[in-house]
A and B are shown apart, each in its own frame.
Chain A
């Protein structure tokens, strides 16, 4: 025990005392925050795009202008709805929304909104601004489109981002030639296309004698869909975000589990290679049993991963508390997620699956590390393992779509995949025999893997085996004479 403890302690401290560990600890919360903030940042960072419309038909340009105005009103409405949930801003925001819904007057709504709402509304940027076309032919507009000349805009001379030529033929077909140097950006092109398409349809309805308002009214018809669960009482049968949370949280936890196991198994691999190439293993072998080296390293790195998980949980708790104070709705969402994570029905299986998933892959990576002197050597042995590890990752995406798929049920019985897939499937209440059966096979496999890894690790550590260990093993099996 002394040897195992000391080796685990050294292994743990060797990671925790490095800047890399703290970067990893901070990386996941930062990554999640970035993932949430990135769309907003990208939107905020995108410049205002000035475009011109040369409309030979004479009436689609107005449709595009109306669409731009509608978009602006929708953005103002979204901000005001958000402000309705901010303490102290509710009353002003509700009044401003009422004005906006009544006559669509953005100016009046802005005047009625509170100071905080006005600050938020001022921050709204119009991404696309329609300007007067400086010329009416493609050839004459080309210098503006390639940035050689600038167009007049409300904000002064600016480069022309795009120009749309709209024309129709005798049959009534409408053609849009969209000119822009930005060939991959599609949002403005789609906006123009949708505005013209909707106007064309409205005209077609009108030609057919259908009233325009009636078309709008019919388009707005939608059923009131309620999602109900038979497992809840009749009064509270409606499925809420809290009911759906376990499904998403389970998949999220399975993903976290996979990421942590993969990361820490790699840590084990590299540290073992370092020890072998640095000849440290030779020194350790006379001071501690091989099993103590194996288990000590596994325990030390397991402690590292538990520290990471605990750090992320604390960071999540702090984020939920902070978010709850500033944005009640976001805070509530995070609270629901954290409450679901803390549910023993999910948390305990997560911890158990972590232990077995980690031991299986950790022991294998450790054994492989003991056979190699360099990372390059390890890569040749690692490739098949990486492919195997990718399978549950792909399956997790499938769980989101159809958690009760028979394919997932089959994959759950493969012990290397059990921790990830069964964890993600738990909220769907899989049959009891599946839970028990897959768990028993997983435990048995873990014991066999640990035993086999111990043997390979011993051979590798003693320099009796190298990267060709498995090749030799296969040859030996083939050469072994059959029993008579």
Chain B
């Protein structure tokens, strides 16, 4: 098995006695797109900083390309921090060249590749403009270019979509896919699940500094029971008809125009077809039947709620 390009091994970190990250372990394999998810304040940025060696963990170890992070391994990494900023008085291209050179590029190569990336992002005409004259979205794209101009093997993006409009979010998604297509490993943090659902091979979910899920998107979706929304006549009682097929069945709202809505969560192993068949066989008068698609957002809310409840109980 190949060495992970990024790994945290049982790392913990506390600030002023308050734990930010607790005994966290996960690894990112080469060529994958990994989403590092969690609510605000879950400890995502702190974990990424420990992984890059910017912050020292109180306990545990971090590894980049199989070794403890140092500035020779960091040259192989492109990092977009959550708190973003560039020298406002610098020219756009000069800023990209500066960060490229810090990562070990020659001035000439950084200039050539920087120009090409600016063109690719539709920013060719602002190459010689000062950063302070750019819009927020433009400046953010320049910063992304500055973090990937040296063609890193691993790109870590901390909340890369925040502050971008929907068009630019779509463009960034395309870039991430393009980088991954070229074999670049991507690790990005976000609390917007739609991006993770569209992009990730794998997700790591963090809540209150603890890992609460680590696996593929489909595995994550499996953690939620499948659900069906249906509507019956007011005299029908589907509860008895569906006994054994459902985990729960609850009325959704009050009876209106002689009809009742129901939310049905299926039992493990049952699917929507079984429910529909049972309703037909037991002559439940159905007026609507809609199997629900599961989203990562629901998984996220479900797992975080579950973890919060566990925390309260313990």
Of the candidates B74, B82, B87, B98, the one whose C-beta lies within 8 Å of that of A278 is: B87
Chain A residues, CB < 8 A from B54: 285-286, 462
| Max chain B C-beta neighbours (<10 A), residue from A14, A286, A289 | A286
Chain A residues, CB < 8 A from B52: 286
Of the candidates A6, A274, A278, A463, the one whose C-beta lies within 8 Å of that of B102 is: A6
How far apart sit A284 and B49, CA to CA, in the bound complex (Å)? 13
How far apart sit A274 and B74, CA to CA, in the bound complex (Å)? 25
Closest CB-CB distance, B138 to chain A, in whole Å? 16
Chain B residues, CB < 8 A from A280: 85-87
Chain A residues, CB < 8 A from B147: 283
Query: Dominant SS at the A interface?
Result: helix
Q: Cβ of A283 and Cβ of B89 under 8 Å apart? A: no
Q: Cβ of B81 and Cβ of A286 under 8 Å apart? A: yes
Q: Which residue of A lies closest to B82 (CB)?
A: A282
Chain A residues, CB < 8 A from B84: 279, 282-283
Q: A278-B85, A280-B86, A285-B54 are in contact. Are A6 and B101 (CB under 8 A)?
A: yes
Task: Judge whether A10 is part of the interface by a CB distance below 8 angstroms.
Answer: yes
Number of interface residues of A (CB under 8 A): 22
Task: Judge whether A464 is part of the interface by a CB distance below 8 angstroms.
Answer: yes
How far apart sit A287 and B72, CA to CA, in the bound complex (Å)? 10
Q: Cβ of B143 and Cβ of A283 under 8 Å apart? A: yes
- B 80-96 binary contact with A (CB < 8 Å = 1; else 0): 01111111111000000
- List CB contacts (< 8 Å) of B191-207 with chain A: none
Closest CB-CB distance, A148 to chain B, in whole Å? 58
How far apart sit A275 and B102, CA to CA, in the bound complex (Å)? 17
Task: Judge whether B122 is part of the interface by a CB distance below 8 angstroms.
Answer: no
How far apart sit A275 and B89, CA to CA, in the bound complex (Å)? 11
How far apart sit A463 and B16, CA to CA, in the bound complex (Å)? 13
Of the candidates B77, B88, B89, B102, the one whose C-beta lies within 8 Å of that of A288 is: B102
Task: Judge whether A3 is part of the interface by a CB distance below 8 angstroms.
Answer: yes
Task: Judge whether A2 is part of the interface by a CB distance below 8 angstroms.
Answer: yes
Chain B residues, CB < 8 A from A6: 98, 101-102
Closest CB-CB distance, A283 to chain B, in whole Å? 6
- List CB contacts (< 8 Å) of A246-296 with chain B: 274-275, 278-280, 282-289
Task: Judge whether B137 is part of the interface by a CB distance below 8 angstroms.
Answer: no
Give 4 A-B pairs besides A280-B86, A283-B86, A283-B146 with Cβ atoms closer than 8 angstroms: A282-B84, A286-B52, A286-B54, A286-B74
Which residues of chain B have a CB within 8 Å of any CB of chain A?
15, 49, 52, 54-55, 71, 74, 77, 79, 81-90, 98-99, 101-104, 143, 146-147
A-B pairs with beta carbons under 8 Å apart, 19 shown: A3-B71, A6-B98, A6-B101, A6-B102, A7-B102, A14-B90, A274-B88, A275-B85, A278-B86, A280-B85, A280-B86, A282-B82, A282-B84, A282-B85, A283-B85, A286-B81, A287-B74, A289-B71, A462-B54
